[in-house]
Structure 1
Amino acid sequence: MKIIVCVKQVPDTSGKVAVNPDGTLNRASMATITNPDDLNAVEAALVLKEQTGAEVVVVSMGPPPAEGMLREVMARGVDRAVLVSGREFGGSDTYATSQILAAAINKIGLDEDDVVFCGRQAIDGDTAQVGPQIAEKLNIPQVSYAAEITKEGKTLTIKRMLEDGYMTIKVNTPCLITCIKELNEPRYMSVGGIFECYEKPYEVLDYNALKDDPLIDPATIGLKGSPTNILTSFTPPQKGAGMMLEGADKATCEKLAGILAGKHLI
C-alpha cells in the first residue's frame, strides 16, 4: 500500500508579497513555507503508515529550490519524495496543475489499495480546486474536508466537516482525500529525521519524463495553456501608522469621538 501526498511550497503571506507584471506572484523574491493544510495531509498519511506499514510518498510541483521543502517533509517521517519541475509547467492554473500532478501520480503508480491525500487548499490561491480536479483526472472517488479518517481493509470511513455539522462517508480505495486543519496536529521534524532525510530517495520528474502521459498536452499546461486569466494583480498598499489613545475615562472617549467625527466616520 502507498499513500501519496500532494504538497505545495507557498509564499509566506505573513511577510512581503510581490507581483510580476503578468499578474503572477514573484515567488523568487518572497519567503516560502510548506502549505499549512498540506502538513495536515502529511500527518494523516504518517498516522496511517504507523497503523498499516504503508509507504508514504510526497509529490510537489515547483522550481528546483522546492527540494528543501520536500527534505523537511521527509524529516517528519515520509519515505520518499518526487518533485515535478520544468519550465513547461510554469504559470499553470488549477486546471493545468491538476493535470500535471495526476500525470505524476500515474508515473509513480496508483494501485488498488493506494490513497492520495491533499490539503484542503493552498494559502496562495485559496481555491480548494486542485485536489478534487486530480481525482477527476485519475477517475477515482474523492472525499473533501476530512476531519477524521479510519481505514478498514480497502475501505476508508471519512468524517467530513460541513458548515452546520458532519457527514460520514465510506469510500473504497484507490481514492483521494482532502484534509482540513481540524483533522490533526502535524508533528515536528525529529533530529534523526533531519539526518536521514538526505539519505531517502528523491526524484525529479521533468516535462520529458511525463510527456507521454495523455494528460500532458502542451496546449493545456503552463501559463499559455491555462484557461484562467488574471485581470489584475497588485501588491497591497502600505497602511499608515496607527494612533494610540491613553486612558479609559470620559475625556478619552470624547477625544476619540472627535477624531472619528473629523474623519466623517461617525
Structure 2
Amino acid sequence: MKVLVAVKRVIDYNVKVRVKPDHSNVDLANVKMSINPFCEIAVEEAVRLKESGAASEVVVVSIGPKSVQDQIRAAMAMGADRGIWIETAETDLGALSIARLLAQVVRDEQPGLVLLGKQSIDSDNNQTGQMLAAMLDYPQATFASKLTVTGDEAEVTREIDGGLQTLALKLPAVVTTDLRLNEPRYIKLPDIMKAKRKPLAQTSPETLGVTPSAGLKLLSVEPPAERQGGVMVESVAALVDALKNQARVL
C-alpha cells in the first residue's frame, strides 16, 4: 500500500511571530521555517506504517516556491521514499485550491491512504483534508489520535467533545492527524544526507490541470494585545468587586 502525505512549510512553532510595520502580513525575513507540526505527525505515522509492513511506500507532496523543497527533504529524512513538489509562486493559496491540487496528485498516484495534518499553525483553517475527501469521494476521519491499518481497512480513533470515537474506513481514505497520534522522531545527520539522494519530482498546477486562486484577500495583520499586569487586592470582597465592576466577568 502506498501512503501519500501532504506537508506545509510554516514558521517554526518556537519562533515568535513578528508583524510587518505596515501590517500587510507577518515578517518572514530571516525567520526559521519548518514542517507544520501536524504534518510532521502525519509523516511520522506514514513511516511507522511502512516500518510495520502495513505500507510499502511513503510519498510526500508540498505546494509552494522552491523553498518548500527543504520541508520535503526533511520529510524524506524522516523516512519518506520520494517527494513531489508542486511549484507555485503564490504562498497564500486558499484551502480549496490546495485541495484541488492534492486531489489531482492523488488521482495520479493512486495511494491507499492519504494523510494530512488536521490544520496548519499559520492559517488554522482545518479545511483541506475535508475538502480533499469530498472531491475524491473518499471516506474520511479527522483528528486521529490512533490509526491501525489491516488489509483494505483502517481503524481510526478520533477525539471528539464527549470523549473518543472509533471509526472503520474502507481504503482508500483520507485521515487528518492530531497531536496525540505520535511523537515525531529526531532527524539524524546520516538520514539528512540520504534524503538528498532520494527522488524529488517537480510539477506545476498547469501540468495538473488546475488553476489555483487565493480565494481570500488578506487586508491586514495585527499583533495580539499586550497582556496587562495583575492587580493585588486586599480582600475577597475587593476581588469580587473588581471582577464585577472592572473585569465585568461576573
1:139 aligns with 2:142: no
Q: Are the structure 2 counterparts of residues 22 and 265 from structure 1 closer, same or farther at C-alpha, using a change threshold of 3 Å? A: closer
TM-score by length of 1: 0.79
Out of 97-106 and 14-23, give the one that drifted further. 14-23
Q: How far 1:208 moved relative to its partner?
A: 3.4
Report what 2:17 is aligned to: 16
Aligned residue pairs: how many? 239
Q: Are the structure 2 counterparts of residues 34 and 54 from structure 1 closer, same or farther at C-alpha, using a change threshold of 3 Å? A: same
Q: How far 1:91 moved relative to its partner?
A: 3.1
Report what 1:248 is aligned to: none
Note the residue ranges of structure 1 that are not aligned, 5 or more in a row. Answer: 246-251
1:38-187 map, 5 Å: 38-52=39-53, 53-87=55-89, 89-107=90-108, 109-111=109-111, 114-187=112-185
Give the share of equivalent positions with the same residue, in percent.
30
Larger radius of gyration: 1
Q: Are the structure 2 counterparts of residues 200 and 20 from structure 1 closer, same or farther at C-alpha, using a change threshold of 3 Å? A: farther
Distance 2:106 2:22 in 1: 33
Report what 1:249 is aligned to: none
Q: Are the structure 2 counterparts of residues 194 and 127 from structure 1 closer, same or farther at C-alpha, using a change threshold of 3 Å? A: same
Please give the root-mean-square deviation of Cα atoms over the aligned residues, in Å.
2.9
Q: Are the structure 2 counterparts of residues 27 and 102 from structure 1 closer, same or farther at C-alpha, using a change threshold of 3 Å? A: farther
Q: Are the structure 2 counterparts of residues 134 and 74 from structure 1 closer, same or farther at C-alpha, using a change threshold of 3 Å? A: same
Distance 1:126 1:144 in 2: 14
Q: How far 1:138 moved relative to its partner?
A: 1.8
Q: 1:236 aligns with which of 220, 223, 234?
A: 223
Alignment check: 8 A CA contact 2:25 2:221 kept: no
AA partner of residue 54 (structure 1): S
Q: How far 1:173 moved relative to its partner?
A: 0.8
Q: 1:222 aligns with which of 202, 213, 229?
A: 213
Q: How far 1:22 moved relative to its partner?
A: 9.4
Distance 2:227 2:133 in 1: 45
Note the residue ranges of structure 2 that are not aligned, 5 or more in a row. Answer: none
Distance 1:166 1:76 in 2: 29
Deviation readout 1:92-135 (Å, 9 max, x if unpaired): 2111121122223333x115xx1000011111111110111111
AA partner of residue 159 (structure 2): M
